[in-house]
Amino acid sequence: MAVKKKTSAAAPPAVLSPRALGRATLERQLLLRRTVMSAEDAVRHLVGLQAQNTKPPYYQLLARLEGFEPAELAALMESRDVVRIVTLRSTVHTHTADDALTLRPLVQEARDRELRMFRKRLVGVDLDRLRDLSRTYVEQAPRTPKEIRERLLVEWPDADPQALSTAARCLLPLVQITPRGVWGRSGQVALTTAEQWLAAPSAPVPAPDGTVLRYLAAFGPASVRDMQAWAGLTRLREVFERLRPRLVTFRDENGVELFDLPDAPRPAEDTPAPPRFLPEFDNVLLGHADRTRVIPPPLKGRNGVGNQAYGSVLVDGFLAAIWRLEPGGGGAPTAVTVQELRPFTAAERDDVTDEAVALLSVMTKEAPDGAGDGVRFAPFIDFDR
């Protein structure tokens, strides 16, 4: 009688705690230690820097790169090696020129979805004509959003002005030209197409596979929903399934399946994580649907109200405070104010102070009065009382 051979069941995927997930993400986000890397390579590795305001990209690199000087990123802006363009989650990001030409077509699905929300305010508007007219207008010379609205109103005087300019932004890959976004300079938003600014054609819509792998390299381990939240895209499950043979899987403590690159770093959860000052809307805080790897559940929403966000301070790898620069005469910062969201230990306060002083020294390097009067701690507020 033949003996039936027993087959051993595959071991269940390892479960990763929020702390373990956080350490993995911080490592890939260059936040466990400052890295020797060029600003351009860092922007590429991080798949862009959230840039809804002009200063945050500089703060993001200050927190991540050894010896970073804002002039380095400013030079990349002026040479057009990096640009400001609406991509992920319908928000402005700083991307390398190559990514601007490839990521923007990839997320066009989300721009089309955004445009449908405004369609009732564009009755009678021929969107193909709007796209062509807008392209010609902004490629003749960079235009402000107000100028674009006024030009389009000539063609469609009964349409909603804001909906017209939104339609142009959704239909075209518009970049914000310099000096907007250049450190130490100012300039209103003026727009032209990525193709015109970079003297190169946009790429055909790429398969999302490569971007999924890059996302995992910078944000993993992560779920399908995490990637979709980061990119503002939908229906990515089939892409992950296609890539499954090249990936490893885990589970979070709620049983959600997480994907990762086999050789990506996953440090032990007790790996030290030094304090880091991050700007509002840093992608490490927004790059997942489940953000508990960096934001403790009791502090959810504490670093922002509506669309108003504050700078975030990570302590031991988790959100623990918010911060702001205090302007002095002429607008130059004179101090960093830290508002604790949980009580700090004496050692944590010392470490946060050191990091704040380092930040302030860069912010005030060209200020006439030097580094100002240092670091201030606002009293801890117990939100649950």
pLDDT in tens, 209-228: 999 999 999 999 999 999 99
Distance, CA of 205 to CA of 286 (rounded, Å): 25
Angle between helices 127-140 and 145-155 (to 10 degrees): 130
**According to the model, what pLDDT value does residue 368 have?**
42
**According to the model, what pLDDT value does residue 322 have?**
94
Distance, CA of 340 to CA of 320 (rounded, Å): 6
The token pair at 264 is: 């990506």
**According to the model, what pLDDT value does residue 339 have?**
93
**According to the model, what pLDDT value does residue 332 have?**
66
Task: Label residue 67 left, alpha or beta by phi (over 0 means left) and psi (-120 to 50 means alpha).
Answer: left
| Tokens 């009293």 belong to residue | 379
Residue 64's identity, in one-letter code, is R
**According to the model, what pLDDT value does residue 384 have?**
56
Angle between helices 161-171 and 108-117 (to 10 degrees): 160
**According to the model, what pLDDT value does residue 301 have?**
82
Counting as low any pLDDT under 70, the low residues of the chain are 1-10, 304-308, 328-332, 365-373, 380-385
Angle between helices 127-140 and 161-171 (to 10 degrees): 80
**According to the model, what pLDDT value does residue 372 have?**
45
> Pick from 157, 153, 118: which is nearest to 134 by CA?
153
**According to the model, what pLDDT value does residue 382 have?**
62
Handedness of CA 282, 241, 90, 205 (dihedral sign): positive
Exposure string for 278-295, b = 16+ CB within 10 A, e = fewer: bbbbbbbbbbbebbbbbb
Domain edges within the chain:
51-198, 295-378
**According to the model, what pLDDT value does residue 241 have?**
98
Distance, CA of 187 to CA of 55 (rounded, Å): 13
Distance, CA of 104 to CA of 172 (rounded, Å): 9
Distance, CA of 236 to CA of 180 (rounded, Å): 34
